Amino acid sequence: MVRRVFAEFLGAATLVAVVIGSGIMAVNLTDDVGIQLLINALATAAGLGVLIWVLGPISGAHFNPAVTLVAATRREIPLPEASGHVVVQVAGAIAGATLANLMFSLPAWSESTTERSNGGLW
């Protein structure tokens, strides 16, 4: 079980680092938001594909508490193991976000400056 739980931690951390890191890099490369989104999407898809290929045989490659909770609800994974996965997935996500920020010489923690809600959104 330790190997599976560690694989989930490593997968979640790496996935979040790829998502955030590619977003930061895209903003540094171009002002074109469409190109930024394309860079981010391609990097995320490639990173996730590699993670599933490498870690899938070890842990099932959930990397996301929602996926793990659905698997537990369907009794595809025992509840004690699912609980461990969720804890390390959250810890891995925090570690991955911190690592991505530090890789680009940003503060380890910062608030988003992007408005996520407006009249046209809903």
CATH number at residue 19: 1.20.1080.10
CA 7 to chain centre: 13
CB of 19 closer than 8 Å to CB of 36: no
pLDDT confidence bin for 79, thresholds 50/70/90: very high
Number of Cβ atoms within 10 Å of the Cβ of 7:
23
Number of domain units in the chain = 1
In percent, the amount of the chain with pLDDT more than 90 equals: 83
Domain of 64? 2-103
Residue 120 has pLDDT above 80, yes or no: no
30 within a domain of the structure (yes/no): yes
The structure's pTM equals 0.86
| 113 inside domain | no
What pLDDT score was predicted for residue 64? 94
User: Is 111 inside any structural domain?
Assistant: no
pLDDT > 70: what percent of the chain? 97
Contact 9, 84 (CB under 8 A): no
- Gyration radius (Cα) of the chain, Å: 16
